[in-house]
C-alpha cells in the first residue's frame, strides 16, 4: 500500500489494480467503501480495456476472439509504481505477453493520484505506442459510503447534478448486457433521490449526461463534490441494501444485447491514434455541506 497526504486528506492506494483503498480526512473519517466481502470486495477498481461485460465474455477483433472478463483485466493486474511523492503517486500498466493474450494491442496506461487540500484528483493517461489504432473503453468505479461519515440518514442522501438530466437512461439485463429499451430518467430536474429500489435492475446508465459534475450527500450535511473530464457516460450503482454507492464516470459501457460485431465498431469505444494519448480525469472533493 502507498499512502499520500495533503493538509486535509489522506489517500491509500494498492499497486495491484492501481486501486484506491481509503480516502480519509484529518479526523480519520473514511469516505470510501471498505470492501466488506459480505457485500462487495471492490473499492474503486479501474475499468480497462472494457467497461461492463462483452457478449460471451470475448473481445472480438476481426475473426479472432479473445477472453475478456467483466470490466477488463486492469483491476486484476499489478501496476508498477513509477513516481511517488508526499502528495502524488503514479502507477503504470503497459502491454506485455499476458495482456496480449486477451487484448492484442500496444498500450501504456498511467493512473495518477494527487491530493491538494480537500480534493483528490485521479488522472488516467492512455498512450498508444503501437503502429495501429488502439480501441478501448475506460472507467472509474469508486464506491463511496452510503451513508457518508457524519452525513445524516441514509434515506436523506441524494445526488444533485450540475445541470438538469432530462434524457432517458439505459439499464442492464440479467445477462449483464445493455437492453435496447430507454427508461424515463429518475432525476427530477437536477436531483436524484437515492433509494434501494432504483438498483433492483442493476446500474443506472446515463449514456448522454449533460453534467460533468455532481454533489453527493444529504442536504446540509458533509458531502462530496464529484467532477470528471474526458468521460462521456455515468453509471450509478449499488446492491440493494448495501452501505455504499458507486459513482462511475465511463468512456464506454457493456455490449448492447444482440451485438456480435467487432469491438472496434462498438458505438461507445474510443480510438487512440498511433503515437497519441487520451486523458480521463475524476475529482473528488470533501465538502462541509452537500
Look at residues 167, 148, 161 and name the one whose alpha carbon lies nearest to residue 220: 148
Q: How many CB atoms lie within 10 A of CB 26?
A: 12
End-to-end CA distance of the chain: 30
Q: What is the pLDDT of residue 151?
A: 84
Q: What is the pLDDT of residue 288?
A: 84
Instruction: Tell me the Ramachandran region of residue 174: left when phi exceeds 0, alpha when psi lies from -120 to 50, beta otherwise.
Output: alpha
Which run of H or E residues covers position 98? helix 97-100
Give the Cα separation of 216 and 152 in Å (integer): 12
Give the Cα separation of 135 and 143 in Å (integer): 27
Q: How many domains does the chain have?
A: 1
- What range defines the domain where residue 174 resides? 2-287
All cell numbers assigned to 4: 499520500
pTM: 0.96
CATH for 222: 2.70.98.10
Q: What is the pLDDT of residue 61?
A: 97
pLDDT tens string for the chain (290 positions)? 999 999 999 999 999 999 999 999 999 999 999 999 999 999 999 999 999 999 999 999 999 999 999 999 999 999 999 999 999 999 999 999 999 999 999 999 999 999 999 999 999 999 999 999 999 999 999 999 999 998 889 999 999 999 999 999 999 999 999 999 999 999 999 999 999 999 999 999 999 999 999 999 999 999 999 999 999 999 999 999 999 999 999 999 999 999 999 999 998 999 999 999 999 999 999 998 76
Q: Is the dihedral of CA 245, 247, 250, 256 positive or negative?
A: positive
Amino acid at each position: 500500500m502507498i499512502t499520500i497526504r495533503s493538509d486535509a486528506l489522506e489517500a491509500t492506494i494498492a499497486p495491484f489494480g492501481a486501486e484506491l483503498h481509503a480516502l480519509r480526512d484529518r479526523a480519520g473519517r473514511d469516505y470510501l467503501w471498505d470492501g466488506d466481502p459480505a457485500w462487495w470486495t471492490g473499492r474503486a477498481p479501474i475499468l480497462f480495456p472494457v467497461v461492463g461485460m462483452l457478449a460471451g465474455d470475448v473481445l472480438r477483433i476481426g475473426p479472432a476472439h479473445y477472453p475478456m472478463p467483466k470490466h477488463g483485466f486492469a483491476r486484476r493486474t499489478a501496476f508498477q509504481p513509477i513516481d511517488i511523492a508526499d502528495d502524488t503517486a503514479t502507477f503504470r500498466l503497459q502491454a506485455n505477453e499476458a495482456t496480449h493474450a486477451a487484448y492484442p494491442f500496444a498500450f501504456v496506461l498511467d493512473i495518477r493520484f494527487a491530493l491538494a487540500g480537500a480534493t483528490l484528483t485521479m488522472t488516467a493517461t492512455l498512450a498508444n505506442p503501437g503502429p495501429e489504432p488502439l480501441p478501448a473503453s475506460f472507467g472509474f468505479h469508486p464506491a463511496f459510503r452510503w451513508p457518508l461519515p457524519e452525513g445524516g440518514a441514509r434515506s436523506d442522501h441524494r445526488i444533485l447534478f450540475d445541470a438538469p438530466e432530462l434524457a432517458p437512461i439505459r439499464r442492464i439485463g440479467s445477462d449483464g448486457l445493455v437492453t435496447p429499451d430507454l427508461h424515463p430518467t429518475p432525476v427530477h430536474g437536477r436531483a436524484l433521490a437515492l433509494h434501494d429500489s432504483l438498483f433492483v435492475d442493476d446500474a443506472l446508465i446515463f449514456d448522454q449526461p449533460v453534467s460533468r459534475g455532481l454533489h453527493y450527500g444529504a442536504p446540509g450535511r458533509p458531502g462530496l463534490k464529484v467532477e470528471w473530464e474526458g468521460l462521456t457516460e455515468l453509471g450509478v450503482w449499488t446492491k440493494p441494501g448495501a452501505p455504499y454507492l458507486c459513482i462511475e464516470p465511463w468512456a464506454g459501457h457493456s455490449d448492447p444485447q444482440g451485438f456480435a460485431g467487432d469491438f472496434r465498431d462498438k458505438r461507445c469505444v474510443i480510438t487512440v491514434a498511433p503515437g497519441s494519448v487520451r486523458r480521463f480525469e475524476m475529482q473528488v472533493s470533501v465538502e462541509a455541506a452537500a
